[in-house]
Amino acid sequence: MTTRPIKLDQIDRNILRTLQETGRKSNIDLAEEVGLSAPPCLRRVKILEEEGFIKGYHAELNPEKIGFRVVVYAKISLHTNSDEDLDAFEALLADWPMVREAYMLAGDDDYLLKVVAESWEHYQGFVTSQLANAPNVAKLSSTLVVKTAKNAYGVPVL
């Protein structure tokens, strides 16, 4: 990595936006779309990867096709918030594949979890067998997603 931060120009932003929207695009197609020849485009992508602007490449899967038809957001409050207790709870989160996203919060609740499940009963089983019985969990509330009105992945690259 370089020692000084790089400043993104409009071509870098176009590369980031295009890769975020269609990460499977070939370097030749990407170069054409952003107005570069292939070698300098590839160099820029490598720099953006090395500098941490691009964290990775992933396929977006259709959860319903795989059998996950329920999305629930769970708010968790812990009894105590010592560093050890937070680390212990986050270690549990890492072991629960149904928990797809987890955010530490400021405010009344300590964590917001995005949980995917095959059914409401599947989610309830996870709650009763693992989540509600996890050490230090004081309060849990669940909100069932009825419909996804917007799902924009990533960040707005202007």
Domain at 14, CATH number: 1.10.10.10
pLDDT of residue 109: 97
Q: How many domains does the chain have?
A: 2
Main-chain phi, psi angles of 2, to 5 degrees:
-75, 160
Q: Is residue 5 part of a domain?
A: no
Please give the residue range of the domain that contains residue 31: 10-50
What is the pLDDT averaged over residues 51-60? Answer: 91
Same domain, 18 and 82: no
CA 127 to chain CA centroid, nearest Å? 21
- 64-101 pLDDT tens trace: 999 999 999 999 999 999 999 999 999 999 999 999 99
Q: Vertex 90, ends 131 and 81: CA angle to 5°?
A: 90
Token digits for 77?
């409050």
Q: Is residue 14 part of a domain?
A: yes
Give the chain's mean pLDDT: 93
Q: Is residue 19 part of a domain?
A: yes
Same domain, 82 and 129: yes
Same domain, 68 and 134: yes
For every residue of 79-122, DSSP letters joined together read S---HHHHHHHHHHHHT-TTEEEEEE-SSS-SEEEEEEESSHHH
Same domain, 81 and 27: no
Same domain, 28 and 87: no
| Backbone region of residue 67 per phi and psi (left: phi > 0; alpha: psi in -120 to 50; beta: other values) | left
Q: Is residue 115 part of a domain?
A: yes
Q: Is residue 17 part of a domain?
A: yes
